[in-house]
Amino acid sequence: MPECPELHLAGRYINEAEAYRISATARGKELRLTLAPLGSGATQDLVFRFGMSGSFRLCPAAELPRHAHLRFLTSESPPRALCFVDVRRFGSWRLGDAWQLDRGPCVVSEYQAFRENVMKNLDDKAFDKPICEALLNQKFFNGIGNYLRAEILYRLKIPPFEKARTVLEAMKDQEQTRRKKNSSLTLSKKLKQMRNNPDLLELCHAVPMEVIATEKNLLDPDHSDNYAAFKNWLQCYLVPGMSSLRDHNGRTIWFQGEPGPMAPKGQRSRKKRAQLKADPEALTPEVTTRASKRRPKTAEKPPESAEEVADGPRKGRARGRKKATAAPALSQAEVPVKAKRSRQTPARRRRGAAPAV
DNA sequence: GTTGGATGACTACGAGTCCTCCAACA
């Protein structure tokens, strides 16, 4: 994100609107905004951690998107607003804090450090897991999310449930062989060869770079064209014809071919329904569809408690959830600032809420 | 109208929870 020229901060952290210069740096899934009050040398940091649906948007202040939970207004006329848009409210932000300590170097902006961090720690227990699960470990793969892991593994035809260490050690051997073979090549030829035959770690850098480079607002679902472009860019994730399985953390991994030796047992691979219609051979008893997983209405359990009855029907997944357990009370000073959850009841609120903005 | 899954990460240590939206289904 480029440096913003001159912005006014609006929000309850600042009682009176003051002029700030704002610069932003990103690392993995975090973004730090540094606020420098005009006429003062002091700065203030805000670190944002994005959830599944969080993003920043710069738009006219009179046309704020839905779920714009934090707004920085420009001083121009008419003003624009830099908004933290987070539909699901999974994102969080901290005031005056640094990067999260347990995240490794960023796969995009700190590639060499990222690579070294992985290669020097191959004996870590994180690499005992399947490669698809290791790729979501932000201690080593800071910035890789669910769709990126699918795209990266798909391009290299690596079975997602192959052991991570097996994959990375094989890659290490290939790297040494390549170095010996390429020792006489010029730097440009080495780089060209690397681009033509990237290894797993190189793709962890290159694939996110493709997303960044493709279009400025590629991931903004409010712009249907951009979102369509993003979906068109995807080669594996959510693509009809690809298989999917739940990993051991409950996240869906999309892949093609064999899942690998560490695939969860007793789970059947699913394929996108569009492909099922187009491919009659795929209609085997092993395919699980949403309909087949659904509990028949006649088999529905009655409400388990009077409280559930009193709450009335809930939509979607919330209906089947267990009641939240009571969390120990924490003072606001002890907890990181999180986006306000205005519809939560106090009993369900697990952390201190951020000020309304 | 209902259900479950979706670009994360937390707590507690496997599975539930936070929240909103929407495609797919009966």
pLDDT digits (tens, 9 = 90+) for A195-246: 778 999 999 999 999 888 775 554 455 555 667 778 888 999 999 889 999 9
- Positions in chain A short of pLDDT 70: 1-17, 215-226, 267-357
Contact in structure between A133 and A150 (CB atoms under 8 Å): no
- What distance in Å separates the CA atoms of residue A312 and residue A306, rounded to the nearest whole number? 10
pLDDT of residue A291: 33
Closest among A49, A71, A85, A340 to A222, alpha carbons compared:
A85
pLDDT of residue A303: 35
| Tokens 């994730």 -> residue | A237
Distance A192 CA to B20 C1' (A): 45
Q: Which residues pair with A254 in a beta bridge?
A: A244
Residue A127 has which token pair?
């690499």
pLDDT of residue A107: 95
Class for domain A4-95, per CATH? alpha beta
| Tokens 């409280």 -> residue | A307
Residue nearest to nucleotide B23 (CA to C1'): A290
pLDDT of residue A289: 34
Query: Among all strands, which nt has the closest C1' to A49 (CA)?
Result: B8
- What distance in Å separates the CA atoms of residue A353 and residue A245, rounded to the nearest whole number? 35
Per DSSP, the residues of A226-261 read HHHHHHHH-SSTT-TT-EEEE-TTS-EEEESS---T
Extents of the domains making up chain A = 4-95, 111-239
Tell me which nucleotides of strand B come within 7 A of a protein CB.
2-10, 15-22, 24-26
Residues of A with a known catalytic role: 2-3, 29
- What distance in Å separates the CA atoms of residue A260 and residue A90, rounded to the nearest whole number? 32
CATH of A111-239, picked from 1.10.357.10, 1.10.8.50, 3.30.420.40, 3.40.50.1360, is 1.10.8.50
pLDDT of residue A179: 75
Distance A237 CA to B4 C1' (A): 18
Residue A108 has which token pair?
């995009």
Contact in structure between A8 and A17 (CB atoms under 8 Å): yes
Distance A216 CA to B13 C1' (A): 40
Query: Among all strands, which nt has the closest C1' to A227 (CA)?
Result: B7
Residue nearest to nucleotide B17 (CA to C1'): A324
**Using CA of residue A174, residue A180, residue A181, residue A183, what is the dihedral sign?**
positive
Distance A110 CA to B10 C1' (A): 26
- What distance in Å separates the CA atoms of residue A232 and residue A225, rounded to the nearest whole number? 10
